[in-house]
Amino acid sequence: MGAVIEWHHETVENLLRGMQSMYDDIRIQAIITCATAALERPRIAAKPEDSEPIIVDLPEVLLPALEAALSHRNPNVRMAAAICQYSIQSHNPTARDIMQTALLKGNSVDSWAAAQCLALEGVATYPVIKRILHQLFYRNNQATEEQACVLLNHLRVKTTLIHTMLAVELNSRQWKDRIVACRAFSQISGKVCIDMKQKIIQLMWNDWNKEVRQAAAKALGRMNLGKEIHDMIRTKLGIRQAACLAAGALQIRDQMVLERLLNLMHTDPYWKIKAFAIRALGQIGQVSPQLTNNLLWAVHYEESPGVRLEACRSILALKLQGAQVRDTFLDVLLLEKHEAVLKEIHQTMIALNLEKEGNQEMIQEIKKKIQTLNQKDLLTEKILKMELAVKHLKEAARWVYSKPKERQKPLEFYTFLQNFKTAENEAALLRPEVFDTEKILKV
């Protein structure tokens, strides 16, 4: 080629001069520039009607120097030359040998580059897949995860080894590894065997970590198993709910049943099943230190107010007493924001005579808090009754309104309403003070 071809301010002559330099760094830079040019060059689709030729990867004058670099004494130069051969898709056997050596014996950067090149070439061996998975799990970031999953997806048609090796990570002791494995399964297409499905389903139901359970559920959804899982969830929920109801109603005191109920109240992902298990334990009536601790923990820390409420009721049903119960209730009453739970705990303390113990100043403060809530409920009831009365009066009036006579003041709203007959309970609400908003808010 007689013409001078530029690539990002570099010419063919400069690249040739760089690859023949006595300095290895300059050689490597020139080779990497060639590889970059091959990857980023414009590509023209080949169509029979097009007279314009397809742009070649690199000028032919550079190819002998790039191939010669595969035999250079410096391993870094050889590695750069091998990467360049894969960039131009030459399928050079010497470059493949260099990559295989780098995969097994190279540093982390070279082995990762080698794994990517070999995977793109379709080499689906155990060392290649193992290195990709190592990068996926130990260099965990979004870009790496996406690249690793693209490579694994490219290889999955050639081997079942990928699913097998990923399944091992589903059993990892590290919860973050289990999350990554679930995400990888969801991004790799292809049929997943029944054992893998069951394992991911097991994680969704039983893993102690909430994030793992969520990742497993998302993976199953992306694997087009959403309907199947939804039906399974409905079945399992129904079975577990029925089991809790039966155990409570029949007061089954079998140790295995009690252990299962304790496990459900603490680990089940669905709050209603937790509540049913807690209710069953209260109905069975067999008190143990473990049950006491679990119920107090549920009252204090459970996320769902329904579970906290049911735990409080079971404490009352079991008639649990002592300083631990009292102190837990007092702590919760100061922090609890859900009105129904607050009232339930306060009533339980009264029923268990726990109000007479402990810090009386704190108990008085709690009583004021409960009283405020009761006044709020009373006010709400009054407002609802007032709204109902006004609605009835408006219907009776049928929008009739008499224009004031000359020199007569317009009727006040209260006086206007008095012109209509009302029921006794409504009349009580139509006193002037009822319409005093400020007075109402002070109640």
For the stretch 352-400, pLDDT in tens is 888 765 555 556 665 566 666 555 555 566 566 666 766 666 665 555 5
The phi and psi torsions of 322 (rounded to 5 degrees) equal 110, 170
CA–CA separation, 363 and 279 (whole Å)? 27
In the prediction, which pLDDT does 259 show?
92
Contact 443, 378 (CB under 8 A): yes
Q: Mean pLDDT over residues 65-85, rounded?
A: 96
User: What pLDDT shows up at residue 327?
Assistant: 87
Which pLDDT belongs to residue 174?
A: 94
* Band of pLDDT at residue 37, cut at 50, 70 and 90: confident
Q: What is the pLDDT of residue 364?
A: 62
Structural domains of the chain in order of their starting residue, each with its CATH number: 6-43+53-192 (1.25.10), 251-358 (1.25.10.10), 378-442 (no CATH)
Q: What percent of the chain has pLDDT over 90?
A: 45
Highest mean pLDDT: which of 14-23, 128-137, 341-350? 128-137
- Token pair for residue 437? 């908003």
**Integer Cα distance of 268 and 277 in angstroms:** 10
Asked if 430 contacts 389 with a C-beta cutoff of 8 angstroms, the reply is yes
What letter does residue 54 receive in the DSSP assignment? P
The confidence score (pLDDT) of residue 315 equals 94
Model confidence at 49, pLDDT cuts 50, 70, 90, reads low
Asked if residues 166 and 150 have their Cβ atoms less than 8 Å apart, the reply is: no
Lowest mean pLDDT among 80-89, 212-221, 404-413: 404-413
For residues 131-151, average pLDDT = 93
Cα–Cα distance, 86 to 118 (Å, whole number) = 9
What is residue 164's predicted lDDT score, i.e. its pLDDT?
92
Taking the C-alpha atoms of residue 39 and residue 204, their distance in angstroms, rounded to an integer, is: 42
Residue 53 has pLDDT above 90, yes or no: no
CA–CA dist 386, 331 (Å, integer): 38
Tell me which H or E stretch contains 440.
helix 437-442
Average pLDDT on 330-344 reads 84
Tens digits of residue pLDDT in 422-443: 444 444 444 444 444 344 334 4
Whether residue 201 contacts residue 207, with contact meaning beta carbons closer than 8 Å, is answered with no
CA–CA separation, 384 and 434 (whole Å): 12
Q: What is the pLDDT of residue 239?
A: 86
Q: What is the pLDDT of residue 78?
A: 97
- Is 261's pLDDT higher than 50? yes
Residue reference for tokens 């995400």: 183
User: Residue 418 has what pLDDT?
Assistant: 53
Residue, of 419 and 120, whose pLDDT is higher: 120
Most confident of 7-11, 29-33, 226-230, 236-240: 29-33
CA distance 307 to 287: 19
CA 248 to chain CA centroid, Å, is 33
> What size, in residues, is the chain?
443
Q: SS3 of 345, please? A: helix
* Helix axes of 108-120 and 93-105: crossing angle, nearest 10 degrees: 140
pTM of the model: 0.58
Q: How confident is the model at residue 410 (pLDDT cuts 50, 70, 90)?
A: low
Q: How far apart are CA 41 and CA 440, in angstroms?
A: 78
Q: Which of 30-44, 138-152, 362-376 has the highest mean pLDDT?
A: 138-152
The tens digit of pLDDT for each residue in 273-332 reads 999 999 999 999 999 999 999 999 999 899 899 999 999 999 999 999 888 998 888 888
Q: DSSP label at 53? A: P
- pLDDT mean over 200-216: 90
CA distance 122 to 407: 100
Q: Taking the mean position of all CA atoms in its chain, how far away is CA 215?
A: 6
Kindly list the distances between the CA atom of residue 45 and the CA atoms of 49, 87, 341, in Å, as whole numbers in the listed order.
11, 19, 69
The pLDDT score that the predictor gives to residue 47 is 52
pLDDT band at 262; cut points 50, 70, 90: very high
What's the mean pLDDT when you consider all of the chain? Answer: 81
Which two three-digit tokens encode residue 156? 């999955």
**Residue 365 and residue 206: Cα distance in Å, rounded?**
41
Q: Are 307 and 339 in contact (CB under 8 A)?
A: no
Question: Which residues, 6 or more positions from 363, have their beta carbon under 8 angstroms from its beta carbon?
Answer: 330, 355
Check if the beta carbon of residue 106 is closer than 8 Å to that of residue 118: no
* Measured distance CA(310)–CA(341) in Å, rounded: 9
How confident is the model over 96-128, as pLDDT tens digits? 999 999 999 999 999 999 999 999 999 999 999
Q: What percent of the chain has pLDDT over 70?
A: 75
CA-CA distance, 234 to 239, in Å (whole number)?
9
